[in-house]
Amino acid sequence: MARPTNVQRAGFQTATVTRIVKESVDARTFVLRPHEQPITYRAGQFCTFRVTVDGEVLYRSYSMSSAPETDSELMTTVKRVPGGKVSNWMHDNLTEGDELELGPVTGRFCLRESAAPLLGFSGGSGITPILSLAKSVLATTDRRVRLLCADRDADSMIFGEALTALTARYPGRLEVRRHLDSSGGFLDADAVRAFVGPDGHGEAYVCGPEAFMEMVENALPGPGAIYSERFGTPVPATPPVSADPIAGGAAVVSPEIGPSGTHTSVSAATPATAAPPPQGETGTVTILLNRKKKTVPRRAGETLLESARRAGLVPPFSCEAGNCATCIAKVTSGHATLRVNEALTDDELDEGYVLTCQAVPDTDSITVDYE
Ligand code: FES
């Protein structure tokens, strides 16, 4: 297969794991020292990691738990999940002094100019970017911060000590309310509204499993803005509220709900359409994902990621900017051109891998395999 053209190369750099901190029974913070260049990031953003597990190169994005304004070290916090190839590999194999490959930082789950209180809602490891945001906003503004953190049980609570220390450091400005599923059942809309109380004008930041996020988003009374951090792969229809958001790790995406309340998320699958291709367009896009095979008519200028969504699938993605490789898949027939490539190596391109968020087919028909 011909290699994609029009690509920009960039990349991953090596980082040393300088410390590993046990945050809970199944969550670890990995403190990282990049070798080549400092990582510039904003609170709430995430970074893509490239690791080789059993000979397979895998990409996962994990949010920073550090904040640039308060932490001299770069930290990410990863929760172990059943079947999570990368998260479990990191837990089982990484020791201090080991090296990782670290990609560019991206994400839009960031602070906006505002004087309103920040309301953080986390389910399980969704607390990771919210801790980063809280540290940043407390250090750089006078805003109040109120967090409602849902966890499976006491042993699963992440950042207990860090949040206790922050609360002591910012008396009157930081409130942390804990909810444990084990004693209180799953968090519900009434509890969310009761927590918000008179702070409906506050800016809400929501991160956790899909069902948790949907419940919180629907419960929030407004009129404050809602910003959400979603995860880019399918989750069970009714996951436990405080379960880790993603089975394979933590491929984070950053759609948001804007101040108008317009949901701009792009993570939801759209139903397959039987609409005919525009005039002049022929051919098909066939996508294999999670043991499903779907074919849709090819549309001019549409990326493979967009085609996959149009086919009713829920493909993995994060940055949608060609930076993170979360959306990687292999073209097994046909050819596509990448608009931007800031993540894949020449070898990977030669093998047929593409960033589906940037890959536009330039053959009539194409088949892409996410497996
Ligand atoms: Fe990040 Fe495609 S979603 S490169």
* Closest atom, ligand 1, to C-alpha of 48: 1
Separation of CA 321 and ligand 1 centre (Å) = 6
First to last CA, the chain: 18
* Closest atom, ligand 1, to C-alpha of 319: 1
Angle among Cα 97, 40, 250 to the nearest 5 degrees reads 65
Angle among Cα 125, 118, 194 to the nearest 5 degrees reads 85
Name the residue of 49, 267, 317 whose CB sits within 8 Å of the most ligand 1 atoms, as the mutation to test its pocket. 317
Structure tokens at 270: 């759209």
Name the residue of 7, 50, 326, 344 whose CB sits within 8 Å of the most ligand 1 atoms, as the mutation to test its pocket. 326
Question: Is residue 244 a contact partner of residue 79, using CB atoms and an 8 Å limit?
Answer: yes
The DSSP string of 193-229 is: HHHHTT-TTSEEEEES-HHHHHHHHHH---SS-EEEE
Under-70 pLDDT residues of the chain: 1-11, 230-281
- pLDDT one-digit tens code per residue, 243-265: 233 222 233 333 222 222 222 22
Separation of CA 366 and ligand 1 centre (Å) = 19
Q: pLDDT value at position 83?
A: 86
Ligand 1: which residues within 6 Å by Cβ?
A: 317-320, 322-327, 343, 355, 357
Separation of CA 143 and ligand 1 centre (Å) = 33
* Closest atom, ligand 1, to C-alpha of 356: 2
Q: pLDDT value at position 348?
A: 86
Domains (ranges, CATH) in the chain?
6-105 (2.40.30.10), 118-264 (3.40.50.80), 281-369 (3.10.20.30)
- pLDDT one-digit tens code per residue, 158-196: 999 999 999 999 999 999 999 999 999 999 999 999 999
Q: pLDDT value at position 231?
A: 60
Separation of CA 316 and ligand 1 centre (Å) = 9
Q: pLDDT value at position 11?
A: 62
Length of the chain as a residue count = 371
Which of 174, 159, 216, 212 has the alpha carbon at shortest distance from 193? 216
Structure tokens at 371: 């497996």
Radius of gyration, alpha carbons of the chain: 21
* Closest atom, ligand 1, to C-alpha of 343: 4
Question: Is residue 69 a contact partner of residue 139, using CB atoms and an 8 Å limit?
Answer: yes
* Closest atom, ligand 1, to C-alpha of 305: 2
Q: pLDDT value at position 148?
A: 98
Dmax over Cα atoms in the chain, in whole Å? 65
